[in-house]
Structure 1
Amino acid sequence: MSIPEDRRYSSQIVSIDPSSLVSYAYSKNEIKLNKLEKSDKNAFFISYLYARDMISATIDISRNIPDSDLKDAIEIKVYDELALDTSVEYTITYSETDSKDTKNRSFNVFIVDAALIDAKLSPIKEKTRYIDYVTPAPFLIKALYSKNLLEPDGTHCFVYFQKNDAFLAIYKGGEYIYSKSLHYSLKEINEKFCELIGERIDEEDFYKLLVNEGLRATNSQHQQSLMQLFGEIFLYINDVLVFCKRSYNIDYIDKIFLGSEIGTFSGIDEYGRSYLGLESFEFNFSIAINSKEWYIDQIHILMMLSAQLYFDNHDDRLNFSIFKRPPPLKYRPVGQLLAILAASLIVSLIYPAYQFAYHSFLSLQTAQNTNEYNTLLQKTSKIRQDIAALKTEKEKVDVLLKDETAKFEFRKKLLSEIYRKKISYPMKAAMLLEIFQLSNQSGSKVENIVFKNQQLTVSIQNRSEKKITEFIQDLTELKKYKINTDKIAQDDAGKLYSSNISIGLHDE
């Protein structure tokens, strides 16, 4: 349920019967009986008028009449065509209906005696102070379609019996078409039933008979009387439907809903089929989680749904309440005047207040900046002194560093030379020793040795090419040297073979 923007209401809805003042409170999806005088003052109060209290008619107004003059034109025509008493004050509302007439616009007009509204609603107003929404009972049915409890498919007829009234309403495509107060309220039905059986029956006992046994009463006299009585009622309803269908060009009634203030009459659906030729449905709609705990007059259910609908759209076209809650102060003339005065005062004070506030702000900011400047100046002076001392210290350190660097470079060079002579020479000697040993084993003669770029190049001779090859293989099997030779050459006399062998240490 959406709450109005002005938040004038609480989330509670209070529905009120205008005759008995019986009320129910609907909140948080639960319905409970309510003591009207103890209701939450911010609850949404809704009541209704009986269908018999309203005069309804359809009138045509020329399309040449502008909308600004429409209200006056409708009221003049209503007084003229319906012969209303000019000495009586009426509340008149209207709604436009679809019309194919190119010359005239068609309107449904609803008229209620203003004095009657005051008489009906004053007892409620004494207990609640406000009545937020009041509309005739037939209009409450619209909420069933708007809240998706009924699909607006086709034409539907609603017949509802109340203790003090009864009405028939027609809706087509979910929109109101026609309504009429019927001459068969529950009290009137009770009176006629007592006449037929020739004895007085208490109203409450009669209502229990209708609900519990209905038109299938076990007492044969009661059953015959009820059958006769409801036969008359449904013939009367049929006459009303015939008139309505002819007047409003209705081809077919798709469904009829039958119900009453006291509950569903047992067996009444058979009369809908027999006398009207229509499939009957129970006029009973549940909207609360505890709605099955007891039977609730369906008019109260319709009022609660209509209140929810009003929350959504705030449509007052069919609201006949004369005790509406005043709008919030900001929407009243006095509230708007106060708002203008307050705005004027505020505007007149804005510039001086701004100047004072801005001056105070600048003074405070200046004081803060001055304090920060003095603090930073002291820190800056100290930092400059520290930097000067560090600079002098750095110059001394640079001189020492230069001297120590020169000493370091000299020692580094000296150590490198010592290492090279200590390591490189013994390694060369070891390599030569192994080479000479292997050459002796193969019977080869070393002619020349050249050391360059950490690599030995050995020139070797032998009368046998195979011996030179064995020498190279023996060196390779040591797996200590990288061996490389281009070829094994033979001299011109063909007696000696020679080869230049490059020998280097492995990287690892």
Structure 2
Amino acid sequence: MAKSNKNANTIVAINKATQNVFGLSGNEIFPFDFDRGGKGKGTTYISYIPFKNIITTTVEISRTVEEADLLDAIVIKVYEELGLDAALDYKITYLEVVGSTSENRVFNVFVVDSQILTSDFDAIAARTGYIDYVAMAPFLYESLYARGLLSKETVDCFIYLQRDDAFLVVYQNGEYLQSRQIRYNLKYIHDKFSELIGNRLEEETFDHMLSTYGLNLDTPAERDYIIQIFDEIFYYFNDIITSLNKIYNIKIQNIYFGTDVGEIPGVEVFVENTLNLTYQPFNFSVAINAKDVEHLTQFDILMFLTAQHYMLTQNDEHNYSPFRRPPPLSQRNSGKLFGALGLGLLLGLAYPAYQYGYGYYMSIVTDQKTTEWRKKDAELKKINDTIKDLKEQIKQTRKFFDVENKVLTERQDLLTGIFDKKVKYPMKANAIYDMSNLVNQNQGNIVRIQDIDRNLTISVRTSSDKQMTKLLKDISNVKPYAVYTRSIALNDKNSTVKFYDSNISVEISDEK
């Protein structure tokens, strides 16, 4: 039953082959009922184009063709090679084959009749209002790599059998490489088996037998027949895979084999023995209850994965829906028109409103600035008055300083004169007295005395150099005198009398 309470965040997968519709909300899958599910804005609808409705081919285009002309060149080539009816409209898309060694550019081309595309989905769109995403069957496998379920470092082959359709797809490094239509669908296997046993089994009975027992049927004859059929099928697969490996210079590593009836027990033996490749179960899941949902196929799972990736990226490169969800009103032409009209009206009202608002704003600013100016002007007047008072104080201070400085200078001169009379003159007199005594003690004579500041220069004469030397030594030992003399000269101009002269400079210090 449909669970409309989950409709706000629901992905709805519409399976064209089984005619089943399932919803995915959160981590749970459930049958979806259009009548009860409604057309919720949070619902994403997805379906796919069966491989049998797709024409695939490969074309080569000269590398000299400009990118702007590439689509036209491919379309013309496809119409010529496939003999398409020029009166019909086709949706043609293409992918370039990466790593091709051909002199020309190689493209995989996909052709869908636009009339069939529209007619196949208009009934669905009538109930849902739109279909968000329609994928081509071979591109559903991209979601396995985009959602991180498979590694992009391998070359994988996917084989899928449906009731009236079957195909093989090869992916290299997570990207589509090539696909092939397969004539061995589930209907063919059912018809062939019924023919061999001579009994027409009901479709549901055969599907149950195939999914439950697979190639391990209890009856030996029936087991031999089913093995015979799959032996033929896998030799056919082997021819296709060998051809693809050779043409594209690849080595397919893994085989994912799936059907609308589920896994077929025993198929892995054919994959490993006939194809000599690694069998991988085609069994992916997006919900915790996937195994409990009846008639749910792996194609439904692929559609859920593709829709999840589309909701994240909004990438419409491989979206073939003729009934896409309308864009938001702001992105539609009518929305843009309404937006332009509204903007024009807004601009028309905005200018006078701006003038009024700006005038009111300026009046407020003017009042504020006037108040600030008055306050600053009062502060400036106060500062000017203070400066004037300080200048007057400086002037008066300078006058007082000049008077006091004159008095101080006069007192200093007076004290200097007193010092010279009271101190210097007695000290020099004492010095002359002391020098006279020392000269007399050393049997010398004072010839001349000169007084310069604190220095006395005394010219002394002795009868021998020893007397002169002793005199100088005695003077040096007496404080506070310091003796300076440059030389002791022998005066022998008078041959009868010899004497020694020396100019002795005596500095008078203050020490006693």
TM over 0.5, yes or no? Answer: yes
Structure 2 CA distance for partners of 1:172 and 1:13, relative to 1, 3 Å: same
* Structure 2 contact 17–163 (Cα < 8 Å) conserved: no
**Structure ID, larger Rg:** 2
State how 1:343-362 maps to structure 2 within 5 Å. 343-357=343-357
Q: What residue ranges of structure 1 are gaps of 5+ in the alignment?
A: 1-8, 369-508
Quote how far apart the aligned CAs of 1:64 are.
Answer: 2.0
Counterpart position of 1:488: none
Among candidates 10, 13, 38, match of residue 12 of structure 1: 10
Quote how far apart the aligned CAs of 1:102 are.
Answer: 7.9
SS in 1 for 2:291: coil
Q: Does 1:323 align with 2:334?
A: no
Quote how far apart the aligned CAs of 1:233 are.
Answer: 1.1
Counterpart position of 1:282: 281
- TM-score, normalization: structure 1? 0.67
Quote how far apart the aligned CAs of 1:365 are.
Answer: 10
Counterpart position of 1:253: 252
Partners of 2:190 and 2:145 in 1: CA distance? 33
* Structure 1 contact 143–302 (Cα < 8 Å) conserved: yes
Quote how far apart the aligned CAs of 1:54 are.
Answer: 0.8
State how 1:426-445 maps to structure 2 within 5 Å. none
* Structure 1 contact 18–121 (Cα < 8 Å) conserved: no
Quote how far apart the aligned CAs of 1:87 are.
Answer: 2.4
Q: Does 1:310 align with 2:313?
A: no
Counterpart position of 2:85: 85
- In percent, how many aligned pairs have the same letter? 40
State how 1:103-502 maps to structure 2 within 5 Å. 103-250=103-250, 252-294=251-293, 296-357=296-357
1:45-102 CA-partner distances (Å, limit 9, x unpaired): 1001111111112222222222221111110111112222222221101122224558
Partners of 1:164 and 1:128 in 2: CA distance? 26
Counterpart code for 2:25: S
Structure 2 CA distance for partners of 1:210 and 1:106, relative to 1, 3 Å: same
Structure 2 CA distance for partners of 1:241 and 1:100, relative to 1, 3 Å: closer
Counterpart code for 1:11: N
Partners of 2:15 and 2:102 in 1: CA distance? 43
1:12-67 CA-partner distances (Å, limit 9, x unpaired): 21110124431111121221111134334321110011111111122222222222
Counterpart code for 1:265: I
Structure 2 CA distance for partners of 1:173 and 1:366, relative to 1, 3 Å: closer
SS in 2 for 1:259: strand
Residues 95-104 or 266-275, more deviating: 95-104
1:214-250 CA-partner distances (Å, limit 9, x unpaired): 1000122221111111111111111221222222222
Counterpart position of 1:34: 32
Counterpart code for 1:13: I
Quote how far apart the aligned CAs of 1:103 are.
Answer: 5.0
Counterpart code for 1:110: F
Counterpart position of 1:45: 45
Partners of 1:182 and 1:109 in 2: CA distance? 18
* Structure 2 contact 169–178 (Cα < 8 Å) conserved: yes
Counterpart code for 1:213: Y
Quote how far apart the aligned CAs of 1:293 are.
Answer: 2.3
- TM-score, normalization: structure 2? 0.66
SS in 2 for 1:194: helix
* Structure 1 contact 63–105 (Cα < 8 Å) conserved: yes
Counterpart position of 2:443: none
**Coordinate RMSD, CA, aligned:** 2.6
* Structure 1 contact 272–278 (Cα < 8 Å) conserved: yes
How many residues align structurally?
A: 363
1:179-212 CA-partner distances (Å, limit 9, x unpaired): 1221122122111111111111000000110111
* Structure 2 contact 29–293 (Cα < 8 Å) conserved: no
Counterpart code for 1:86: A
Partners of 1:187 and 1:37 in 2: CA distance? 32
Partners of 1:188 and 1:122 in 2: CA distance? 30
Partners of 2:109 and 2:311 in 1: CA distance? 24
Quote how far apart the aligned CAs of 1:357 are.
Answer: 4.2
Q: What residue ranges of structure 2 are gaps of 5+ in the alignment?
A: 1-6, 369-512
Counterpart code for 1:33: P
Counterpart code for 1:217: L
Counterpart code for 1:26: L
Quote how far apart the aligned CAs of 1:107 are.
Answer: 1.7
* Structure 1 contact 18–124 (Cα < 8 Å) conserved: no
